[in-house]
Amino acid sequence: MASVQVGNHSDCIRSRVHSLNWRESIGTQLQLRKTREQDPFEEICLFANNLFDKVDIYKSENIHLTLQREQLQQQLLGIQQTLLAGGSDAAKTIISKLSNVGLNDDGSSSPTNTISTKNLNIQHASILAEKAQLEKKILDLQDKLNAALKSENETVQKIIDLKNVADEKDRTNRHLTIVLDQREKEIKELKETLEKLDNEYRTIKDEHLALTLSYKSLEKRHLELKKECDSMGMQILAAKREDAERLNAENERIMKLQRERAMRELESNVAGMDRELLARQAAGDPSALALAAMATDNFESIGDDEDLRLLNLPSRIPEVIEMSFDAHEGGSTAVKWYSCAGPSDSYIATGGQDRKVKIWKIADSATAPVGDALQGSNSSITSIDVEGDALLASSNDYATRVWSLSSHRLNLTLTGHAAKVNSAKFLGAPNKIASGSADRTIKLWDVNRGACIKTFFACSTCYDLVYGNYVIISGHFDKKIRCWDLNRSDDKDATWMVPLGDHKVIAVDISNDNNKVVCCMRDNTIKCVDLRTLEVLQTYSDEKFKTGEEYWRVCFSNDDRYISCGSSDGSFFIWDVNTAKVEKVLKGHSNKVIATNWSPDGKRMVSIEHGRKVSIWA
């Protein structure tokens, strides 16, 4: 019943929330609540008061009866003592006092004396009967008193329970009053907010009208500028075409000089070789065909547009460390061995955790840094590639950068990835770049425009990528390699995917004939995939070979006969591509080897470790 009354009271309060005289309404409701809650207890209170009055009356009667009882008990005790101690004389004295009759002078009894004794016995019996009645009355009064006390306790408990109910209702009423005040405050705040929003709406509406007028004016101006821009664009394109023609002519002249110089060096290198032996080797070995042509002065058989590395000069397996040097503070992370004007003109580019790229001139028995370090990166270098006079490096700072090798100046910074860039490569020319990132995308960049021209969504982190024959091969976290066909300009999906097991692909490299790709796996194996059949040709492994981190690198030799890859135990392994046999295990580092590279002439190798040390092997 109490819950129903509280519910009705709450409904009544909610119905008058928005009333202007809410304080008066609350006072009225409180008065009504007092009347409703007080009426049921008035009879109980009167009954309790009556009980208290009766208890007081019974207590006074009890006290009076108790006094009478004590007096009678004292009188009876005195009579008994007199009878026991005084003998017949004392009894006679008591009887005479009670009956006003004495004994004869001679002490003998008389008939009157006998009658008085009988009367005394009758009075004694009457006193005893009255005593029993008084005791019975006292017991009845005690029972009534106990019943009254019990009823009083029950009444007190009821009063306490009713008081608790009343207190609970008071607390509920106070809570509802607080809630009502909060709702009134919220209503006031909402009204103020509504008024502010209304004012802001009017202001924004006025601004919108002003911006609409300004937009129409700017749109008109934009059309005019667009016409001017188109006109200037045509002029710029014409000027660029002229500059491109001049630049192409100059490049053609420079390339011609470089080829002539390279041919002269090749002539000097093969001058002492037996030409007849080279001709016989050329009959069965494709790599000897170029040497035989050089030995017979038939250099015209090599096309002018081919790179020296495409001659497939035979590579050899090194034996010992020729030299070592410290390259970077904090450790090296990437390496590239390249030549500018022939095999004898060798340079090594290294990148490290110190955010620098350094160029080293490789002589027969010494190395020397070339110029200042290439700076501009904000984090450690992850990969390096060289094309012509341009050096490309990706970084953990979400960017890829291009430097000039001749001036050592930073030419371009390409940003657009949402995570670290794990690998970047030139696409056969210094003006086209591909980059793979941990943001699960592969981006194509136009160096001339300095902008991204296409984005491939791989849906998995790209750890490494390579380019060959108008396709990009990338290795990913989801244990697959993907092929991206650059001839399909509108296709943003991979041309094909090859799953390679249960572990991620952390490094890839493509053969010089663009027919094979090797993939370094996180399960301490390397797989060779035929790009024509998309089948795994060989799996390379060794019980001591252990791969490591995400920027691990694997590479083909110049003649595609060998592959090399570093190991976590401070060594690097060289396998035969066709037989998957371990040809050599080279040890010389005290830290894990993360990358290796063959020299352009195939006679030496470079290896870098997780520390500062860079080693040249011969």
The pLDDT tens digits of the residues spanning 223-271 come to 888 888 888 878 876 776 777 677 667 767 777 887 787 777 777 666 5
Share of the chain above pLDDT 90, in %: 34
Residue 292 pLDDT? 47
- Assess contact for 420 and 397: CB atoms under 8 A: yes
- Assess contact for 110 and 104: CB atoms under 8 A: yes
Share of the chain above pLDDT 70, in %: 79
Flag whether pLDDT at 206 surpasses 80: yes
The pLDDT tens digits of the residues spanning 66-99 come to 887 787 778 777 776 766 665 545 455 554 554 4
Length reported for the chain: 618
Residue 419 pLDDT? 92
Taking Cα atoms as reference points, which of 616, 540, 614, 530 lies closest to residue 577?
540
The pLDDT tens digits of the residues spanning 360-379 come to 988 776 777 888 889 999 99
Q: Is the pLDDT higher at 23 or at 539?
A: 539
Q: What is the pLDDT averaged over residues 52-67?
A: 79
Residue 111 pLDDT? 52
**How many other CB atoms are found less than 10 A from the CB of residue 349?**
25
Those residues with Cβ within 8 angstroms of residue 481's Cβ, 6 or more apart along the chain or in another chain: 473, 474, 475, 497, 498, 500, 505, 508, 517, 519, 529
Q: Which residues pair with 604 in a beta bridge?
A: none
Q: What is the pLDDT averaged over residues 435-451?
A: 92
Residue 602 pLDDT? 87
Helix (H) or strand (E) holding 435: strand 432-437
Assigned token pair, 287: 């790599």
- Assess contact for 492 and 456: CB atoms under 8 A: yes
Q: Is the pLDDT higher at 450 or at 286?
A: 450
> What is Dmax (Cα atoms) for the chain?
195
At residue 103 the predicted structure's pLDDT band, cuts being 50, 70 and 90, is very low
Which pTM was predicted? 0.53
Amino acid in position 338: Y
Helix (H) or strand (E) holding 411: strand 410-415
Q: What is the pLDDT averaged over residues 17-33?
A: 70
Taking Cα atoms as reference points, which of 90, 92, 86 lies closest to residue 117?
92
The pLDDT tens digits of the residues spanning 453-506 come to 999 998 899 999 999 888 999 999 999 999 998 887 666 677 788 888 888 999
Reported for 393-399, long-range contacts at CB under 8 A and 24+ positions apart, including other chains, are 393/334, 393/351, 393/357, 393/424, 394/421, 394/422, 394/423, 394/424, 394/435, 395/355, 395/420, 395/421, 396/420, 396/421, 398/437
Scored b (16 or more CB within 10 A) or e, 279-306 reads bebbeeeebbbbbbbbbeeebeebeeee
The pLDDT tens digits of the residues spanning 308-359 come to 444 556 888 999 999 999 889 888 999 999 887 655 568 999 999 999 999 9
